């Protein structure tokens, strides 16, 4: 049975910060961010647009009534959960009006969670071929004003519908994964921001990539030449480029050229959104699919998923006939170019404003007319507007 990605949707906040404004405000040469990290903008969410509303918007972009009747599992990968107990996918289930007899769970392992979700979704459809599974990756990456990671923040969600005979790509059964118990990036329960050993995290990302890649090629008797594109987890685009250079070092020039061209297509969205943790790899995939001019049916794409801590996985997908018809070609002009640009003062105010509840567990929030928004906290309960 062929099981894979039938639809992909994306949502980001409608506000952004130009990374050059951030550099100037911090007394840093803007080239360090635009060339050193290859980052251009970052998406900034107000407190009324959390991982639940972003997830609901990403899914609403792709789901029709038939999907909502047939989805019987929602898996949401995140590391910025809104509750220690209730899964964000349960809120999303309610907001979207998915039929009742569905399973809803949240998965956490840094930026890797949604990849585990994809595998779970595939196994579920294998056992129940008529099922559709909604896999969502939704995160808001915040490191704090003036922090070392400030230039690598972002916010957004990716939603993928997994089913048999998919319209976009088949998930190949070639996954190779690795776990290393390391402290490169983590967030203790008492801290609003992650702790990060920045340089170590980049070394670990690259080492996990090369060792897993070698094992992947060996276990699957494949070579880099078998792929038309490689997608990477993108905490910032330059790290993906370093990864690409490392694993394609010995390839002939014409193969390198194709992979490099497709890499450029794969980073267009991340360059303007920033790190969205669990969704970053899949935002790269969406960017590639919607902007590459040389992909065709049957082409294979390898994906590198990395979550600090650390767990990583490499697997591949194969494009199916007609996949182009199920993608948007106007996202850059219709969505990205229409966002509101924030000043540095607005960014510092909006992105870091927290929700304080009174002694009864209530908080009123500013009005937000986005398709889904957090309206208030009422007796410690989050209340969303559909
Ligand atoms: P930093 O100290 O801001 O930057 O840290 P740097 O000094 O390492 O410089 C960055 C690059 O800019 C370097 O390029 C410089 O040479 C260059 P490289 O040598 O690496 O090729 N540069 C310049 N280029 C042009 N003109 C200039 C200039 N100056 C310098 N004037 C760091 C950067 C990413 C470490 C920091 O932002 C950080 O800590 N970010 C957060 C952690 C992170 O993103 N880690 C990535 C790997 S871990 C991961 O991917 C998991 C994660 O997504 C979380 C999860 O799994 O949940 C983070």
Rounded to the nearest angstrom, the distance between the alpha carbon of 271 and the centre of ligand 1 is 14
Q: Which of 111, 208, 231, 312 is the catalytic position?
A: 111
In the chain, which ranges are continuous DSSP H helix? 19-25, 30-31, 51-60, 65-70, 88-96, 113-127, 198-220, 237-247, 253-266, 270-273, 280-291, 331-334, 344-352
The pLDDT value recorded for residue 386 is 84
- Rounded Cα distance between 82 and 349, Å, is 20
**Burial environment of residue 313 by CB neighbours within 10 A (0 to 12, 13 to 18, 19 or more):** buried
The answer to whether 315 touches 302, Cβ cutoff 8 Å, is yes
Q: Could you say which residues of the chain have pLDDT below 70?
A: none
Query: Is 124 known to be catalytic?
Result: no
Backbone angles phi, psi at 68, to 5 degrees: -65, -25
The answer to whether 55 touches 88, Cβ cutoff 8 Å, is yes
Nearest CA, atom 1, ligand 1: 148
The pLDDT value recorded for residue 133 is 98
The pLDDT value recorded for residue 114 is 98
Residue 189 structure tokens: 């329960």
The pLDDT value recorded for residue 166 is 98
3-state secondary structure of 110: coil
Rounded to the nearest angstrom, the distance between the alpha carbon of 146 and the centre of ligand 1 is 14
- Residue 92, CB half-sphere, CA atoms under 13 Å: how many? 36
Which atom in ligand 1 lies closest to the alpha carbon of residue 242? 21
Task: Please choose from 37, 182, 207, 239 the residue to mutate so as to test ligand 1's pocket, defined by most ligand atoms within 8 A of CB.
Answer: 37
- Rounded Cα distance between 120 and 135, Å, is 9
* Digit-coded pLDDT (tens) for 351-373: 999 999 999 999 999 999 998 99
Q: Which of 231, 233, 312, 313 is the catalytic position?
A: 233
Rounded to the nearest angstrom, the distance between the alpha carbon of 198 and the centre of ligand 1 is 7
- Rounded Cα distance between 209 and 230, Å, is 12
Query: Is 111 known to be catalytic?
Result: yes
- Rounded Cα distance between 322 and 381, Å, is 44
- Rounded Cα distance between 166 and 304, Å, is 21
The answer to whether 382 touches 92, Cβ cutoff 8 Å, is no
Q: Which residues contact 266 (CB under 8 A, 6 or more apart)?
A: 229, 231, 232, 234, 240, 284, 285, 287, 288, 292
Nearest CA, atom 2, ligand 1: 148
Nearest CA, atom 51, ligand 1: 308
Nearest CA, atom 14, ligand 1: 36
Helices then strands, each counted (H, E), the chain: 13, 18
Q: Provide the percentage of residues in the chain whose pLDDT is more than 70.
A: 100
The pLDDT value recorded for residue 44 is 98
The answer to whether 7 touches 326, Cβ cutoff 8 Å, is yes
Task: Please choose from 79, 198, 284 the residue to mutate so as to test ligand 1's pocket, defined by most ligand atoms within 8 A of CB.
Answer: 198
What are 304's strand-pairing partners? Answer: 232, 314
Nearest CA, atom 11, ligand 1: 36
Residue 315 structure tokens: 């697997």
Rounded to the nearest angstrom, the distance between the alpha carbon of 48 and the centre of ligand 1 is 29
* Digit-coded pLDDT (tens) for 37-93: 999 999 999 999 999 999 999 999 999 999 999 999 999 999 999 999 999 999 999
Q: Name residue, tokens 């009005």.
A: 367
Which atom in ligand 1 lies closest to the alpha carbon of residue 110? 57
Q: Provide the percentage of residues in the chain whose pLDDT is more than 90.
A: 99
Ligand 1 binding site (Cβ under 6 Å of any ligand atom)? 29, 31-32, 35-37, 79, 110-111, 148-149, 151-152, 184-185, 196, 198-199, 201-202, 205, 233, 235-236, 239, 275, 277, 306-308
Instruction: Report the chain's mean pLDDT, rounded to a whole number.
Output: 98
3-state secondary structure of 72: strand
- Rounded Cα distance between 103 and 105, Å, is 7
The pLDDT value recorded for residue 2 is 98
Rounded to the nearest angstrom, the distance between the alpha carbon of 340 and the centre of ligand 1 is 26
Full DSSP string of 241-297: HHHHHHHTTTS-HHHHHHHHHHHHHHTTTHHHHB--GGGHHHHHHHHHHHH-SS--T
Query: Is 233 known to be catalytic?
Result: yes
The answer to whether 170 touches 318, Cβ cutoff 8 Å, is yes
User: Which residue in 158, 159, 118 sits closest to 283, CA to CA?
Assistant: 158
């Amino acid at each position: 049975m062929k099981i894979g990605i039938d639809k992909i949707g994306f949502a980001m906040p409608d506000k952004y910060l130009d990374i050059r404004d951030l550099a100037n405000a911090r007394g840093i040469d803007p080239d360090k961010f635009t060339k050193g990290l290859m980052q251009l903008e970052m998406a900034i969410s107000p407190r009324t647009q959390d991982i639940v509303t972003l997830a609901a918007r990403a899914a609403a972009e792709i789901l029709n009534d038939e999907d909502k009747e047939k989805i019987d599992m929602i898996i949401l990968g995140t590391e910025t959960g809104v509750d220690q107990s209730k899964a964000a996918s349960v809120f999303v289930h309610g907001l979207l009006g998915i039929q009742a007899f569905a399973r809803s769970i949240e998965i956490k392992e840094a930026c890797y969670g949604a990849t585990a979700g994809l595998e779970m979704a595939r196994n579920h459809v294998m056992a129940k071929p008529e099922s559709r599974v909604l896999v969502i990756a939704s995160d808001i990456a915040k490191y704090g004003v003036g922090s070392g990671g400030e230039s690598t923040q972002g916010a957004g969600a990716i939603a993928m519908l997994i089913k048999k005979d998919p319209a976009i790509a088949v998930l190949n059964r070639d996954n190779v994964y690795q776990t290393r118990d390391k402290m490169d990036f983590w967030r203790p329960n008492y801290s609003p921001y992650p702790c990060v050993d920045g340089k170590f995290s980049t070394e670990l990302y690259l080492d996990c990539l090369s060792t897993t890649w070698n094992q992947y090629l060996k276990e699957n008797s494949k070579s880099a030449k078998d792929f038309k594109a490689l997608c990477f987890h993108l905490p910032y685009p330059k790290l993906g480029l370093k990864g690409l250079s490392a694993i394609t070092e010995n390839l002939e020039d014409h193969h390198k050229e194709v992979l490099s061209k497709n890499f450029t297509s794969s980073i267009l969205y991340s360059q303007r959104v920033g790190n969205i943790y669990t969704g970053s790899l899949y935002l790269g995939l969406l960017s590639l699919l919607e902007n590459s001019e040389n992909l065709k049916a049957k082409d294979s794409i390898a994906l590198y998923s990395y979550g600090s801590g650390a767990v990583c996985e490499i697997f591949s997908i194969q494009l199916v006939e007609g996949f182009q018809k199920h993608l948007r070609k106007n996202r850059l002009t219709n969505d990205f170019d229409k966002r509101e640009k924030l000043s540095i003062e607005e960014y510092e105010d909006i992105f870091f404003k927290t929700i304080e509840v009174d002694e009864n567990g209530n908080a009123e929030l500013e009005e937000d007319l986005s398709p889904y928004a957090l309206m208030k906290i009422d007796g410690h309960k989050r209340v969303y507007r559909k």
